[in-house]
Amino acid sequence: MRQSGTVKFYNAQKGYGFITPDDGGKDVFVHVTAVERAGIPNLDEGARISFETEPDKRGKGPKAVNLQYS
Protein backbone atom coordinates (compact mmCIF):
# COMPACT_ATOMS: atom_id res chain seq x y z
CA MET A 1 0.00 0.00 0.00
CA ARG A 2 1.38 3.38 -1.03
CA GLN A 3 1.86 6.02 1.66
CA SER A 4 2.90 9.65 1.59
CA GLY A 5 5.11 11.51 3.99
CA THR A 6 7.84 14.06 4.56
CA VAL A 7 11.58 13.41 4.69
CA LYS A 8 12.48 14.05 8.33
CA PHE A 9 16.20 13.34 8.08
CA TYR A 10 18.55 11.90 5.48
CA ASN A 11 22.33 11.56 5.68
CA ALA A 12 23.75 10.59 2.29
CA GLN A 13 27.20 9.89 3.75
CA LYS A 14 25.82 7.43 6.30
CA GLY A 15 23.34 6.08 3.75
CA TYR A 16 20.08 6.27 5.66
CA GLY A 17 17.32 8.49 6.96
CA PHE A 18 13.71 8.61 8.11
CA ILE A 19 10.36 9.59 6.60
CA THR A 20 7.49 10.87 8.75
CA PRO A 21 4.27 9.34 7.35
CA ASP A 22 1.21 11.55 6.86
CA ASP A 23 -0.94 9.09 8.81
CA GLY A 24 0.93 9.96 12.00
CA GLY A 25 2.51 6.54 12.51
CA LYS A 26 6.10 5.86 13.53
CA ASP A 27 8.87 7.27 11.35
CA VAL A 28 9.87 4.89 8.57
CA PHE A 29 13.53 3.99 7.97
CA VAL A 30 14.88 4.61 4.46
CA HIS A 31 18.16 3.12 3.21
CA VAL A 32 20.41 4.50 0.48
CA THR A 33 19.71 1.44 -1.72
CA ALA A 34 16.02 2.43 -1.95
CA VAL A 35 17.02 5.98 -2.89
CA GLU A 36 19.42 4.72 -5.58
CA ARG A 37 16.83 2.26 -7.01
CA ALA A 38 14.35 5.13 -7.33
CA GLY A 39 16.92 7.16 -9.30
CA ILE A 40 16.73 10.01 -6.80
CA PRO A 41 20.07 11.84 -6.46
CA ASN A 42 19.44 12.88 -2.85
CA LEU A 43 16.56 13.08 -0.37
CA ASP A 44 16.15 16.62 0.86
CA GLU A 45 14.84 17.17 4.38
CA GLY A 46 11.28 18.48 4.24
CA ALA A 47 10.64 17.02 0.77
CA ARG A 48 7.28 15.35 0.09
CA ILE A 49 7.64 11.72 -0.93
CA SER A 50 5.46 8.68 -1.53
CA PHE A 51 6.63 5.19 -0.70
CA GLU A 52 5.72 1.62 0.11
CA THR A 53 7.00 -0.34 3.10
CA GLU A 54 8.41 -3.82 3.54
CA PRO A 55 9.77 -5.62 6.60
CA ASP A 56 13.45 -5.03 7.32
CA LYS A 57 15.54 -8.21 7.07
CA ARG A 58 17.14 -7.42 10.44
CA GLY A 59 13.74 -7.26 12.12
CA LYS A 60 13.97 -3.60 13.07
CA GLY A 61 10.57 -2.59 11.67
CA PRO A 62 9.42 -1.44 8.26
CA LYS A 63 11.63 0.26 5.72
CA ALA A 64 10.63 2.49 2.82
CA VAL A 65 10.90 1.17 -0.75
CA ASN A 66 9.67 2.28 -4.21
CA LEU A 67 10.23 5.95 -3.45
CA GLN A 68 8.73 8.72 -5.61
CA TYR A 69 8.70 12.47 -5.12
CA SER A 70 5.11 13.63 -4.60
Ramachandran class of 46: left when φ > 0, alpha when ψ lies in -120 to 50, beta otherwise: left
Q: In the prediction, which pLDDT does 56 show?
A: 84
- What does the DSSP assignment read for 31-68? EHHHHHHTT-S-PPTT-EEEEEEEE-TTSSSEEEEEEE
Q: Does domain 2-69 have CATH number 2.40.50.140?
A: yes
User: 24 by DSSP, 3-state: which?
Assistant: coil
Nearest to 49 by CA among 58, 27, 13: 27
pLDDT of residue 33: 95
Q: Where are the domains of the chain?
A: 2-69
Per-residue pLDDT tens digits for 13-43: 999 999 999 999 999 999 999 999 999 988 9
What phi, psi does 44 have (nearest 5°)?
-90, 135
From 22-26, 49-53, 54-58, the region with the lowest mean pLDDT: 54-58
Return the pLDDT at 61.
84
